[in-house]
Amino acid sequence: MIKICDNDFIITDYINLLSYKNPFGCRIKALYNTYDYSLSFVDFWVQIIDETAVSLIARMESSFILRLTENSDMEEISAFMRVSGASNIICDGKYELECAMNKTIGPVFVSDEEMEVDCNKIVFSPHIKDVYNLINKCAGENFYVPKYESFALDVAHKLQKNTMRIYGIGGDSLICCIMTLAETDNSAVLGALATDPYHRRRGNGAFLIKYINNVLVKEGKSVFLHRAPNENIEFYNKLGFKQYGIWAEYKESDSNG
């Protein structure tokens, strides 16, 4: 049975249980901690079997995140997704959804240990506009950038709720930045590492990844990151990340057309 979170059914305890040290659960809990479930553009559900919570589902507009387990009823989850109006879904790739959408998979990495930093750079919290401009400058096939207005509103709200953080380095201008896509009290998901093309191959990206990893690990958080299937996996292995599993993203067939 899939039940929606509302005033009569609060699922905070289920989210806390299923999000612990899990990248998909982390993203759901961070969204839950950021936006009230009564808002029109978000929803949260829990799948319950024999009085036990086995899956979580979160929606932001038409994008869905699934936290699945070995006990998830995938037939029910798949049917729910087919009628949900989802334009894209992200979940653990070891579970198969039955839906008429294009599927992409890639590795998930994790770090629970501090990394050795072999240089010293001044790190600061950059302005959202500067971060957006740098990310936009680095946009590519695996690096989609939304419109500034929606990006700025979402980031500002998450920063206020402490479910995201951003670090940057640079002098007169921002040359490299990294952010957490989601944060909870025990986990974080990294994303949006961007380095100005004129400042690449100088160790800036590696330094910021190590820096943010060490800050998060000292706070007792597991640090996750999702990588595109054609990105340099060896780079992250050398930094100290270990493969955790795989992610799967399902998109509408015409989403890129």
Every domain of the chain and the residues it spans: 2-99, 110-251
Transcribe 147-204 into DSSP letters.
Answer: -HHHHHHHHHHHHHTTS--EEEEESSSEEEEEEEEEE-SSEEEEEEEEE-GGG-SSSH
Q: What is the pLDDT of residues 7-35, one digit of tens each?
A: 999 999 999 999 999 999 999 999 999 99
Give the per-residue pLDDT at 141.
57
Q: What is the pLDDT of residues 80-102, one digit of tens each?
A: 999 999 999 999 999 999 999 99
CA distances from 90 to 27, 118, 173, 217 (A): 10, 35, 34, 25
H-helix or E-strand spanning residue 205: helix 204-218
H-helix or E-strand spanning residue 125: none
What residues form DSSP beta bridges with 52?
49
Rounded Cα distance between 186 and 217, Å, is 9
Instruction: Look up the pTM and report it.
Output: 0.94
The pair phi, psi for residue 252, each rounded to 5°, is -60, 145
Q: Check: CATH 3.40.630.30 for 110-251?
A: yes
